[in-house]
């Protein structure tokens, strides 16, 4: 029965709670347009607190400059609607760039045009109400995001590494034991996802644990080991011949559940044997290092 029900994540619940709370607060103050409180709450409910703060700054800067410029141009150029909007857009973009607020340009322009298309006598009040209601939504979402289990993908990253380790022996066996050429695109995708999650983890710069920086460096080191394994496996798959491995590496593979026939005792290894054994040894060294790390700490 549970499989038939959709999964409702915590971020979904927090977004719904933030929107409902923001709308309640906007109604309590008698807002003429509570939709902007809801929009602010939705925009600010980002995956990480750092992204949430960035969204809040974008909204506030965009509305402040857009509304301010809109009121100014409606007041100074009431009879030049189209010319005023064109000149105002140019001036607004130049100001945002000058203040290094490029991230706020799209929203500032949208608010500016909205003000210019509103009745002149209500432009100032419209801008104030929009800024106030949006601030209610932004503040509500930010508080809920901070108070209710802030996002932390540390465990998810560890699980991705564990899955990577569990997957790798099948690829090694396909190449070394069976002489095939497995498609490594899935491993590359897994490694790419690990890198993406690590980038998000490094951006969690608000309300983070004291050892966050140490953990970030530690996990990047684990990523390098995972990359080394993929690099060595790629080198093995690039060889024209599979090559025969030594007894030591055959024994190490056996601990991973991979049965590979080693070079016969007393036989002289050829160039392909030496190269294959070299890459496999590097791969297994990296595998062992990563496996022995306490990724779930």
**What pLDDT sits at residue 7?**
65
| CB-side neighbour CA atoms (13 Å) of 170 | 10
- Segment (H or E) for 68: helix 49-76
Tell me the pTM.
Answer: 0.69
Q: How many secondary structure helices (H) and strands (E) does the chain include? A: 11, 0
**What pLDDT sits at residue 119?**
76
Tokens representing residue 177 in the block: 């034991």
Tokens representing residue 187 in the block: 């491993």
Contact (CB, 8 A) for 142 and 54: no
DSSP one-letter code for 21: H
Tokens representing residue 105 in the block: 């340009």
28-47: buried (b, 16+ CB within 10 Å) or exposed (e) per residue? Answer: eeebeebebbbbbbbbbbbe
DSSP one-letter code for 103: G
What gap in Å lies between CA 207 and CA 261, rounded to an integer?
A: 53
**What pLDDT sits at residue 211?**
77
| Dihedrals phi, psi of 245, to nearest 5 degrees | -95, 165
**What pLDDT sits at residue 19?**
94
Q: What is the pLDDT along the chain (297 residues), one digit of tens a residue?
A: 445 556 667 788 999 999 999 999 999 999 888 999 999 999 888 877 778 888 898 889 999 989 888 888 888 777 777 777 888 899 899 988 998 888 889 999 999 998 888 777 788 888 889 999 999 999 999 899 888 877 778 889 999 999 999 999 999 999 998 889 999 999 999 999 999 999 888 877 666 667 778 888 899 999 999 999 999 999 999 998 888 888 999 999 999 999 888 888 878 889 988 999 999 999 999 999 999 887 665
**What pLDDT sits at residue 264?**
85
């Amino acid at each position: 029965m549970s499989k038939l029900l959709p999964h409702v994540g915590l971020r979904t619940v927090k977004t719904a709670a933030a929107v409902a709370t923001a709308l309640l607060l906007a109604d309590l103050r008698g807002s003429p347009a509570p939709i902007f409180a809801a929009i602010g709450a939705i925009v600010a409910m980002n995956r990480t607190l750092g992204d949430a703060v960035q969204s809040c700054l974008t909204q506030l800067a965009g509305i402040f400059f857009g509304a301010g410029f809109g009121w100014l141009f409606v007041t100074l150029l009431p009879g030049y609607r189209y010319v005023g909007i064109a000149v105002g857009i140019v001036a607004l973009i130049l100001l945002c760039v000058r203040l290094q607020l490029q991230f706020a340009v799209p929203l500032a322009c949208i608010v500016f045009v909205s003000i210019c298309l509103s009745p002149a006598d209500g432009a100032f009040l419209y801008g104030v109400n929009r800024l106030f209601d949006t601030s209610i939504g932004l503040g509500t979402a930010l508080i809920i995001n901070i108070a209710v289990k802030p996002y932390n993908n540390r465990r998810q990253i560890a699980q991705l590494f564990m899955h990577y380790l569990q997957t790798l022996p099948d690829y090694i066996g396909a190449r070394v034991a069976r002489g095939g050429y497995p498609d490594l695109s899935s491993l590359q995708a897994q490694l790419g996802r690990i890198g993406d999650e690590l980038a998000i983890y490094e951006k969690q710069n608000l309300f983070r644990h004291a050892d966050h920086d140490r953990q970030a460096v530690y996990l990047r080191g684990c990523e390098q080991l995972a990359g080394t394994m993929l690099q060595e496996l790629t080198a093995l798959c690039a060889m024209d011949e599979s090559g025969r491995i030594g007894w030591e590496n055959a024994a190490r593979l056996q601990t991973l559940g991979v049965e590979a026939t080693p070079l016969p005792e007393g036989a002289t290894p050829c160039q392909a044997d030496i190269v294959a054994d070299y890459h496999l040894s590097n791969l297994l060294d990296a595998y062992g290092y990563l496996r022995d790390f306490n990724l779930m700490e």
